[in-house]
Amino acid sequence: MISYLKCLKLVVNQGVYNRGIRLYLDGLVSKPDPMILDNWRRYEVQGNNDHYTIKIPLLHLTLDRKKFDKAGDAISEISTCECEYYYSYGICKHIVAVCASIDKEFDANTNLSFEREKADNNSVLDNIFEAEKVKKHRKWYEVIEMYLTRDHPNYFYLDEISKTLADEPLDHDEFLIGLHRIVEAVIGDYAKEKLLVKIILESILVGKKVWWDFWLPFLLRFDERNMNRLFIGLWKIRWLSGAKSYQVELDKLLISMKNKEKKLIFEQLKIEFENQREIWLEYCFVAKYYSWLEENIDILDPSYIVKMCLSLPEKREEYEYKILNQVKIWADFLQAGKYEEIKDFFQYWQQALGRSEVYEDAVKYFQTAHPKKKKLLIGIS
């Protein structure tokens, strides 16, 4: 890969060059348009009063490698601009700006040669992109600060940041270091923490692991009510998306919380998802919060009681009898449409806990009390 800028630097005067870089950094170069000719591009650059069309070939795709040292001349020979300067003197700041944009675009995609250029400390490009990055990060801080002052912000910019971080996980350490300081200043300020919780949840939802790693050291440091909000949100994300890339770490945190905190989260989930009990029951198992389950074991479905046996093996015998009782009731009132369900359950029970005495009793109960339903358990007993 050649650097278009480096080639140009050899053939244009410094003033034009610098003004071109400035145009690029100010974001005045459009996205490229392909042209009918292969490997030619059309760009628009916004000037002081007007905007200009630049046409330029992608030399790194067309020029013979042996002629790379002539690339600067090639650009000045065939690329065009519509401005006055170009007609009088040739290569103008608009073409320089476009070359900066091309360098940026292709450097990002051609790793090998990019690494070589990166190693060159004096690389013109490094300085430019460094400046560009600093500018970008400054904007990001402003966005975060803005979110820390508003109750109902539009998270569009945050989602953009999150996507960029997820795409370029190694490129924004400086930003995260600066953000660290901002977050430290927020902790302890209840109202701001509350807004920060929203930012954390939204960013993890979009940026996943990168953001998770960043927020992890802060997650247990908030005011109790904010922490409650935070973990309810994290649980919802886990429930909806699986949170695969950081699930193990999240689960460890959920387990590590105090019983009192777990209770608050549980109660809140129970209220919010009254009719979707699997959401809060699953929370109990993942967070190892068993108090409610133990108190309410008689109203749990048998499959949850099996899970309780697995989680609290010391109570297994006691709980298995509860399963037996439930299964008896279940069998006595079994409706035609439920046959598959009970077969599935027996299978699950056997797989999870093996064929215990109680299990055999349950099978026997079917065979004696409900001979007609006997064939239901074929393949199981």
Positive or negative torsion for Cα 293, 299, 301, 302: positive
Number of H helices, E strands in the chain: 21, 3
Q: Is 83 in the site for Zn ion (CB under 5 A)?
A: yes
Token pair for 33: 């348009």
Helices (H), 152-276: 156-167, 173-186, 190-207, 209-215, 224-241, 247-256, 259-272
Q: Is 86 in the site for Zn ion (CB under 5 A)?
A: yes
Shortest separation between residue 79's beta carbon and Zn ion, angstroms: 10
Give whichever of 23 and 305 is closer to Zn ion, judged by the CB atom. 23
- Which residue in the block uniquely carries the two structure tokens 């020979």? 77
Report whether 186 contacts 148 (CB < 8 A): yes
Candidates 5, 7, 71, 92; binder of Zn ion (CB under 5 A) is 92
Q: Is 94 in the site for Zn ion (CB under 5 A)?
A: yes
Binding flags for Zn ion, 215-244, as an x/- string (CB under 5 A): ------------------------------
User: Among 84-92, 259-267, 269-277, 363-371, which window interacts with Zn ion (CB under 5 A)?
Assistant: 84-92
Give whichever of 102 and 362 is closer to Zn ion, judged by the CB atom. 102
Token pair for 245: 């890339």
Q: How far is CA 288 from CA 284, 285, 293, in A?
A: 6, 5, 10
Q: Is 106 in the site for Zn ion (CB under 5 A)?
A: no
Give whichever of 84 and 278 is closer to Zn ion, judged by the CB atom. 84
Give whichever of 7 and 197 is closer to Zn ion, judged by the CB atom. 7
User: Among 91-99, 140-148, 240-248, 352-360, which window interacts with Zn ion (CB under 5 A)?
Assistant: 91-99
Give whichever of 85 and 285 is closer to Zn ion, judged by the CB atom. 85
Shortest separation between residue 175's beta carbon and Zn ion, angstroms: 34
Shortest separation between residue 52's beta carbon and Zn ion, angstroms: 5
Give whichever of 46 and 311 is closer to Zn ion, judged by the CB atom. 46
Q: Is 41 in the site for Zn ion (CB under 5 A)?
A: no
Token pair for 194: 């509350």
Q: What is the DSSP string of 293-321?
A: HHHTGGGS-HHHHHHHHHH-GGGHHHHHH
Shortest separation between residue 247's beta carbon and Zn ion, angstroms: 54
User: Among 62-70, 81-89, 209-217, 272-280, which window interacts with Zn ion (CB under 5 A)?
Assistant: 81-89
Q: How far is CA 176 from CA 127, 161, 162, 228, in A?
A: 20, 12, 12, 25
How many residues belong to the site for Zn ion (CB under 5 A)?
5
Shortest separation between residue 190's beta carbon and Zn ion, angstroms: 55
Candidates 81, 161, 196, 230; binder of Zn ion (CB under 5 A) is 81
Shortest separation between residue 86's beta carbon and Zn ion, angstroms: 4
Report whether 326 contacts 302 (CB < 8 A): yes
Shortest separation between residue 81's beta carbon and Zn ion, angstroms: 3
Contacts of 47 (CB under 8 A, 6+ apart): 23, 28, 83, 94
DSSP 338: G
User: Among 86-94, 168-176, 255-263, 292-300, which window interacts with Zn ion (CB under 5 A)?
Assistant: 86-94
Report whether 283 contacts 269 (CB < 8 A): yes
Give whichever of 43 and 155 is closer to Zn ion, judged by the CB atom. 43
Contacts of 304 (CB under 8 A, 6+ apart): 281, 293
Residues that bind Zn ion (CB under 5 A): 81, 83, 86, 92, 94
